Amino acid sequence: MAIRRIGVLTSGGDAPGMNAAIRAVVRTAFNNKLEVMGISRGYEGLINEELKIFDHRSVSNIIGHGGTILKTARSAQFMTEEGQKRAVETLKRFGIDGLVLIGGNGTYAGGVALCKKWNVPCIGIPGTIDNDINGTDSTIGADTAVNTALEAIDKIRDTVTSMERIFVVEVMGRDCGYIAVRVALASGSEDVLIPERSFDIHKMCHDMVEGNLRGKVSWIVIVAEGAAKAEIVAQQITDITSLETRVAVLGHIQRGGSPTAKDRNLASVLGAEAVKLLIRGESCKAVGMISDEINVVDLEFAITKKPLETERIYQLIKMLT
């Protein structure tokens, strides 16, 4: 069946660059004479019929804006059979022949249900700061998040050095240490705790005390939120070493702001590709980039555990300290 009208949604945690992806989807669709409906609040909006038809101006001047003009949500309703049924009914009622889904693991899992169980053509675009989607070197938003966290940590370094302190900085990443290791390496931080790697707090404290004796009096430890709570790590350091510590939790700051050129470019390329795939009759696929080449994988593969080079980078961080 030829595709005439597509829908686009963003779901899960917002990521900088999602707007650039929406823009590319909408403009590519128009250039191929397709109609586009924007679905608000992800799967929740699909269930509650929150849709509007896009015109050419709907996506003007959004390429540099963080967040998502479509808004986003984590939908518990869509996890149920009844929720999915209602979502599919909405698609039928609005004459939508295919969907572009922008988001992370949860979004893709929803897409797998839609295409496998309900026969809805779906293409996924990886939009998450976590960079935990398989089949792509980077996800849209990850580069911006690392740069945002880096800017904050560079500032923290000024006070760390001036006051000769130990700082524990918590960054995002519930299941994935990508932001933590990248930002630790880029900021010259002394240690990093990530969910993928067990850590020995006593060894870290021993290194700190030894460093202290050698005259190294400032120290930054980056903690991925999925590995530990910064407050607890800082308290443990003080208990073990008697050294004073301070804590900074960067939190959702990392999800906002204007996307970097890298994220805008990635979003533009993948947004255009997703629409072309739908036109070609593809479904249940995810688009990505590997070594600057477009890479298309099954949606189901994209949500399998992504092998990240965290160990190699961890060793490098320690060697350069």
Of 129 and 230, the one with the shorter C-beta distance to ligand F6P is: 129
298 is annotated as an active-site residue? no
**Of residues 174, 202, 203, 312, which one binds ligand F6P by CB under 6 A?**
174
Residue 130 binds ligand F6P, judged by CB under 6 A: yes
State in angstroms the smallest separation of the CB of 74 from ligand F6P: 6
The answer to the question of residue 149 lying near ligand F6P (CB under 6 A) is: no
Considering only 125-133, 181-189, 227-235, 273-281, which stretch makes contact with ligand F6P by CB under 6 A?
A: 125-133
Which residues, numbered 248-277, are part of the site for ligand F6P (CB under 6 A)? 255
Interaction with ligand F6P in 8-47: which residues (CB under 6 A)?
13
Q: Which of 14, 55, 97, 130 is catalytic?
A: 130
Closer residue to ligand F6P (CB): 130 or 273: 130
- Non-local (6+) Cβ contacts of 106 within 8 A are 11, 12, 74
* Residue 194 sits in the site that holds ligand F6P (CB under 6 A): no
128 touching ligand F6P, by CB under 6 A: yes
Stretch that binds ligand F6P, among 45-53, 155-163, 167-175, 289-297 (CB under 6 A): 167-175
Catalytic residues: 130
Task: Using CB under 6 A, list all residues that contact ligand F6P.
Answer: 13, 104, 128-130, 172-174, 225, 255
